[in-house]
Amino acid sequence: MTVFFYDKTFEGLLTAIFDAYNRKVFPDKLLAEGDVAPLFMEDCYTVVTQEDKATRVWTSLEKRMSKGACNMLTHVWLSEEEGSDELLFRYIRKQTDSKISIETNFGDEDVLRMHQVAKRVSHECLYLKQFVRFQKAADDIFFAPVSPKCNALPLAIEHFKDRFADQKWVIYDIKRKYGYYYDLHTMVEMTLDNDKHLLSGKLDENLMAEDEKMFQELWKGYFKSMTIKERINLKLHRQHMPKRFWKYLTEKQ
């Protein structure tokens, strides 16, 4: 068994692909640096991430694949599913070795699985766009905590930049402990030193703007007045609005 160790970054994966073709040795397994080596390992190689190698591989893929297929690669990487890096490695290798596109070769198990994983990530991205609820903080910054199943926030963030371009906001992924801050001009990735108080899905009342509580009550009242009790279908409701998002929704408090 041949094992490649790398730093578990997307650039590191692309570098591993470059090195594999350069060495003409392809891994049976990809592991993070520091992981315990398999018992029956015959050969190992530690990948040193290099931006120039990663760029060369990505540029080559862009020439060989459609834009949709390239987007699918990033979706699968952001899925964080176990073995997704090995799936990507196999898919990219098959595409590189093929003279024609394999994007729609659904008879291939890896191609089919790539589309299935990417579809799940796309759904999570859509949920973020639908169910993010901002709360106005005392410093007039609108804040929204999220906790998606996969790392879908980078895929959805441009939507919020376009949709809420006239206000300062922070969208923060509690599960992965990072977020994005928009200051009306630029958007930057950020982290919080202490985010334990956000686990409830709401800002502490002492951190809210004076009128935020009032607006939340108005929104709850509107939501309640629009609900027709006789037509409530909880099963369908959970299907279209997964319960894991409810603690972030003002109308569900």
Residues 93-136 pLDDT 10s: 999 999 899 999 999 999 999 999 999 999 999 999 999 989 88
Strands ordered across the beta sheet of 135-136: 135-136, 142-146, 169-173, 178-182, 187-190
pLDDT in tens, 171-214: 999 999 999 999 999 999 999 887 766 666 677 776 777 778 87
Q: Please report the pLDDT score of residue 199 as a whole number.
A: 63
117 & 144 share domain: no
Q: Tell me the mean pLDDT in the region 145-173.
A: 94
Q: What angle do CA 143, 147, 149 make, to 5 degrees?
A: 150
pLDDT band at 242 (very low <50, low <70, confident <90, very high): confident
Q: What is the DSSP letter of 38?
A: P
Summary count for the chain: helices (H), strands (E): 8, 8
Of the candidates 196, 187, 178, the residue with the CA atom closest to the CA atom of residue 160? 187
43 φ/ψ angles, rounded to the nearest 5 degrees: -150, 145
As for how many domains the chain has, the answer is 2
Q: Please report the pLDDT score of residue 80 as a whole number.
A: 95
Percent of the chain with pLDDT over 70: 96
For residues 195 and 22, the model is more confident at 22
Q: What is the pTM of this model?
A: 0.86
89 & 163 share domain: no
pLDDT in tens, 51-96: 999 999 999 999 999 999 999 999 999 999 999 999 999 999 999 9
237-241, long-range: CB within 8 Å, 24+ apart, which pairs? Answer: 241/131
153 & 180 share domain: yes
pLDDT band at 42 (very low <50, low <70, confident <90, very high): confident
198 & 136 share domain: yes
169 & 92 share domain: no
Range of the domain at 82: 2-124
For residues 215 and 92, the model is more confident at 92
178 & 71 share domain: no
Q: Please report the pLDDT score of residue 201 as a whole number.
A: 67
Q: Is the pLDDT of residue 168 over 80?
A: yes
Q: Please report the pLDDT score of residue 59 as a whole number.
A: 96
* C-alpha–C-alpha distance, residues 203 and 215, integer Å: 14
10 & 87 share domain: yes
73 & 136 share domain: no
Q: Please report the pLDDT score of residue 245 as a whole number.
A: 86
